[in-house]
Amino acid sequence: MAARLGLAFCMAGAAWAADDPLVLQQRAVDRIEAFVDHFRRTGDYRSRIADLRQAEAELISGNGVLAARGDWAGVAHGLVRLGQIARMQSDWDAAAARYREADATAQRARDPVLQARALTGFALAEVSRRNLGAAAGYASKAIPLAEAGGDKKYLFDALDVAGQIQIAQGDLNAAAETLNRALSEAKGIRDESRLFYGYLDRADVYLKRAERCDYERDFAVCLDAVNRARTDYTEALRIARQLGYAGLAAMTESFLREVGVREQMVRSQDEAHRLVSKAGVFAPKVPKDVLVTERFAPKSGLPTGIEAIYQMAKAAEAQAGGFASTVAARSRYVDGLIRQSRGEHDSALALFLDAVRLLERDRGRLRDERDRGTFFEDKVEFYHAAILELLERRRHAEAFELMERSRARVMADLLASRSPGLSLPKDRVLYAESLQLRSQIAARQGSLLTLAADPKAGAERAQIAKENEKLERQYETLLARIAREAPRVGELLVSQPASLSALQQSMRRESYEMLEYLVLEHAVILWHISADAVRVRNVFLPRSQLMEKVRKLGDSLSDRNRPFDERTARELFLFLVQPAKEWIRSERLVVIPHEDLNYLPFQALPDPADGRYLGERYALSVAPSATVLLGLTRAAAMVGASALAVADPDLVAGQDEAQAVARIYAPRSKLVVEPLPREADLKRWAGDYEVLHLSVHGKFSESEPLLSYLKLARGGADDGELTAAEMFGLPLARSRLVVLSACETGKARATHANELLGMQRALLYAGASTLVLSYWPVDSDATAAFMQAFHHAAQSTAPPAAAREALKAVMAKPTYAHPYHWAAFMVVGR
């Protein structure tokens, strides 16, 4: 390392050779601190960039001499400062490289404080590059190192960055707790400047929480968050003024104005919600009670607070670094809203489309599927605004393409990446192993960052940190193996969305139709697409009303002891199906839900006209998007298929169910009921069968959906939990049908960008063409009856039609009249 560092630094610093390297280093540090102080006082940084370049030259020169001397602590300190210089100029790649080398050098110097500083800076650089998983890893390492070093200033810095990462990941509760501890540490060292940033970042947590009222409807919580944000920004402003930091004070005042705008927006949303709730228009009894239009673009009139948001967006664009395209995209979007409010719809559409173009550019730079997913969460409205303007002009094909770009994109990217990057079975196994390890690491990192808020949890943090270090070593070893053996495994392609013409060609060949939904703040956009026609309607049903109805119906369905809420079910039929009912001609109907509609079993919606349920009338299936749907193989009857039927011996009805399934597919079937197989057994057998039927216990993990699992037997290296992450590696290329007759297997977390996180995602990626999964835990006897009827029918018809026959068979039994027994199962696919 000495030779390498010496060469790197000495070549650039010969002119400084006569100076003492530590003197040079201190001179550079003084320049950096003066630069920071000037910015804090004035808000200006451009006029002093030359000072940073001078400091950079001094640090490089000094580090060359220090490296030659073997003063690794001095070199690490210089590298940390070089990383800071790059970061202050928004050169995130250079900053990451400097911090990476600083970390390695600090380890060589055996200096935990320097290593903590390097890792904290590295985490900041990765946040700016949207590599949130890597950033969380570096922050979780920095915290215990700073604690061990005993310097509370740098412990604050590590905690503060950890909080910023949690904000970016959307884990606002954990972020608030982490920043609470950071503020406590800052108060302990009486560092006012650090207190300023702590209050600023915690206020950001509260403001982000308030922003969720744009698509979540808990107004009291949002207003409380607004007040908390105002309190913290006000305290930050007091500190800035006390320290004479006029530049920071002006910045904080702009944040306080943003809080005022947000409060105005929340109160406006709350008032609108109260008014429409009292109106009685959301309890329809007949079709004419539902307001349906073919108008989509908002009328003229300035949205609440939009002018203030416009000014903030322009200010952010002027100072943007890193992902500047994304900042510019937001500015274009807000500009478009203003043009739209003035009735200038053509220019508004052009701005919305430009915002989407800029956003797509930055999205394509993200290689990690998690980062791509979180990237979209607060920007998906850019697409929706353009979609509405296009629909107003009846430009259906363009609107459809944008709608597909705005939903389940990461799932589509994963499916697109299978063929070029993961065509070999061993490659998919390696990818699944990487997901499993990364999910385990992420879960522990989340625990570490949450526990960071509790100073009494040191022993627990130490144990989790030890476990995490072991997992991280395994992950690093695995990544090295992937780099050697399967270098394309880590590459995530950018998928191309399905076109309307391609979808309609598929419909002509396969005779199905589609209902696709887009949930907006004040309406649900309903698409009916057939082979020869496209019809789109704007249904007046605010998001808050929809969410409440879906929740109420779900509560009545998932508990057999509660009466079925037929009134709400009928209302949802009138809102979601009735506007398109007259156009549906096919018996096969594919539903593409959006947001909370992913939690709605459409088969349980009765038609008020005749009482027939949607699941009786149509052969239903669902998919995350039309793009994902067209990436799957068409479903067909299972006659002559080979089948693997597995049951947990603790489930008596499950054993009977598996035995019946094996008989239906005999002689090309394998039955395993006792003992329960291990994960390794299932992974070995799965690739040999076209039908996979598992009647075992399942569990959904809300906090880390890829750690949701099916319960199998322990043994050898198997822990007895086949996780969703591990399912990515199952050899399902031959699989035509996967049935998980277990609790919560269809449960997923639906994001604002309509990414479904759970087993469904994993099994489709692994190669399954069609899935049958459950929305909620179902009575085992009713499940057995459904599954036997389903597999019998599947011998002569495709799975969606077979599910319809099974539903009708079960609901015909008086014991199972409650939809709890027959509406729990969804079919995913074509």
Q: Give the pLDDT confidence of 536-589 residue by residue, as tens digits.
A: 999 999 998 999 999 999 999 998 889 999 999 999 999 999 999 999 999 999
Give the model's pLDDT for residue 10.
Answer: 42
pLDDT of residue 372: 65
Q: Read off the tokens for 736.
A: 């035509």
- 610's CB contacts (< 8 A; 6+ apart) are none
Dihedral pair phi/psi, residue 645, rounded to 5°: -115, 120
Instruction: Pick the closest to residue 206 from 282, 266, 122 (CA basis).
Output: 266
The answer to whether 116 touches 108, Cβ cutoff 8 Å, is no
| CA separation for the pair 303, 192 (Å, rounded) | 39
Q: Confirm if 327 and 285 have CB atoms less than 8 A apart.
A: no
Helix (H, G, I), strand (E, B) or coil at 685: helix
Domains 191-279 and 414-422+488-830 share a fold: no
Q: CA-CA distances (angstroms) from residue 412 to 245, 418, 713?
A: 48, 10, 33
- Cα–Cα distance between 121 and 250 in angstroms, integer? 26
Asked whether the predicted pLDDT for residue 309 surpasses 90, the reply is no
CA 298-301-303 angle, to 5 degrees, is 80
Cβ contact 757:705 at 8 Å: yes
Q: How far is Cα 286 from Cα 428, in angstroms, rounded to an integer?
A: 51
Cβ neighbours of 400 (radius 10 Å): 25
**Beta carbons of 6 and 14 less than 8 angstroms apart:** no
Q: What gap in Å lies between CA 185 and CA 163, rounded to an integer? A: 14
Contact 537, 487 (CB under 8 A): no
**Separation of alpha carbons 557 and 617, rounded Å:** 20
Q: What is the residue extent of each domain of the chain?
A: 1-110, 191-279, 289-406, 414-422+488-830
Element (H, E) at 514: strand 513-519
Q: pLDDT band at 7, cuts 50/70/90?
A: very low
- Residue 14: is its pLDDT beyond 70? no
How far apart CA 599 and CA 601 sit, in angstroms, is: 7
**Per-residue pLDDT reduced to its tens digit, 215-243:** 776 788 899 999 999 999 999 999 999 99
- Distance (Å, whole) CA 751 – CA 170: 11
Buried-exposed string 505-538: b where 16+ CB fall within 10 A, e elsewhere: ebbeeeebbbbbbbbbeebbbbbbbbbeebebbb
Q: What is the mean pLDDT of residues 458-485?
A: 81
pLDDT of 456 strictly over 90: no
Rounded to whole angstroms, the Cα distance separating 761 from 414 reads 9
pLDDT higher than threshold 90 for residue 744: no
Instruction: Tell me the DSSP string of 594-660.
Output: -GGGGG--GGGPBPTTT--BHHHHSEEEE-S-HHHHHTSPPP---TT--EEEEE-TT-HHHHHHHHH
pLDDT at 3 over 80: no
Phi, psi torsion values for 670, nearest 5 degrees: -125, 130
**Residue corresponding to tokens 């070029």:** 420
Lowest-pLDDT range of 97-106, 316-325, 464-473, 575-584: 316-325
pLDDT tens for residues 567-576?
Answer: 999 999 999 9
The 10s digit of each residue's pLDDT in 383-408 is 999 999 999 999 999 999 999 998 87
Which pair of structure tokens corresponds to residue 699?
A: 């569990």
What is the reported pTM?
Answer: 0.82
Helix boundaries (H) for 409-457:
409-421, 425-451
Four-residue CA torsion sign, 616, 622, 627, 628: negative
At position 742, the amino acid (one-letter code) is A
Q: Give phi and psi for 96, each to the nearest 5.
A: -60, -40
Domain 191-279 architecture: Up-down Bundle (1.20)
* Confidence check: pLDDT of 757 > 90: no
pLDDT range class, residue 730, cuts 50, 70, 90: very high
User: 3-class SS at 789?
Assistant: helix
Residue-level pLDDT at 9: 45
CB 793 within 8 A of CB 785: no
CA 232 to chain centre: 28
- Average pLDDT on 57-82 reads 95
d(CA 26, CA 653): 75
Locate tokens 């702009």: which residue? 254
% pLDDT > 90, the chain? 60
**What's the number of CA atoms in the CB half-sphere (13 Å) around residue 151?**
15
In CATH, the architecture of 414-422+488-830 is 3-Layer(aba) Sandwich (3.40)
Half-sphere exposure of 5 (CA within 13 A, CB side): 26
- Cite the beta strand spans of 635-778 per DSSP E: 643-647, 669-672, 691-695, 698-699, 709-711, 721-723, 737-740, 748-750, 756-758, 771-774
For 675-682, what is the mean pLDDT? 92
pLDDT tens by residue, 505-548: 999 999 999 999 999 988 999 999 999 999 999 999 999 899 99
User: Please, are residues 468 and 138 in contact by the beta-carbon 8 Å criterion?
Assistant: no
Specify which of 163-167, 230-234, 463-467, 781-785 reaches the highest per-range mean pLDDT.
230-234
Q: What is the mean pLDDT of the chain?
A: 88
pLDDT at 745: 85
Side chain identity at residue 496, one-letter code = Q
User: Nearest-CA neighbor of 329 among 345, 348, 352, 310?
Assistant: 352
Asked if pLDDT for residue 183 goes beyond 70, the answer is yes
Confidence label for 307 from pLDDT (cuts 50, 70 and 90): low
Residue 540, phi then psi, degrees to nearest 5: -75, 95
What's the mean pLDDT in 611-636?
A: 95
Our CA angle for 549, 543, 584, nearest 5°, is 75
- Taking residues 748-757, what's their average pLDDT? 76
